[in-house]
Amino acid sequence: GAGVSQTPSNKVTEKGKYVELRCDPISGHTALYWYRQSLGQGPEFLIYFQGTGAADDSGLPNDRFFAVRPEGSVSTLKIQRTERGDSAVYLCASSPLGGGSYNEQFFGPGTRLTVL
């Protein structure tokens, strides 16, 4: 079946602009995660959704970052007033259950964000 998909694959924007990154999880997966990976580093957790609600948003770096998952499927990560330091690959993952259960996460291809 289809894996996790993310769009766009690449996004170049100017400092101060607003961007939206989209994630389509594996069908039927209730848990969805966003991570950010800087060059040469491991992914860092941003936010976790269980269904429609954000169960843990403690990884969001500041209030310029916001994510939604209104119908419990597709999620959008929104970044306001982008800064050059936001440049990274943004990874989305989904898992069947999450929340303390066996939690193998399946990752999408990522969106490479470049802020000029």
Partner 1 sequence: ELKVEQNPLFLSMQEGKNYTIYCNYSTTSDRLYWYRQDPGKSLESLFVLLSNGAVKQEGRLMASLDTKARLSTLHITAAVHDLSATYFCAVDGSGSRLTFGEGTQLTVNP
Q: Which residues of the shown chain bind partner 1 in the complex (CB under 8 A)? A: 31, 33, 35, 40-45, 48, 50, 55-56, 59, 91, 98-110
Please list the alpha-helical segments (H only) found in 2-111.
Answer: none
Please name which of 31, 7, 27, 39 lies closest in space to residue 110, comparing C-alpha atoms. Answer: 7
CB of 86 to partner 1, least distance (A): 19
What minimum distance in Å lies between the beta carbon of 16 and partner 1?
A: 28
Selection from 76, 48, 79, 45 nearest residue 64 by Cα: 79
CB of 105 to partner 1, least distance (A): 6
Q: Between residues 18 and 97, which has the closer beta carbon with respect to partner 1?
A: 97
CA atoms within 13 A of residue 95's CA, in its CB half-sphere: 14
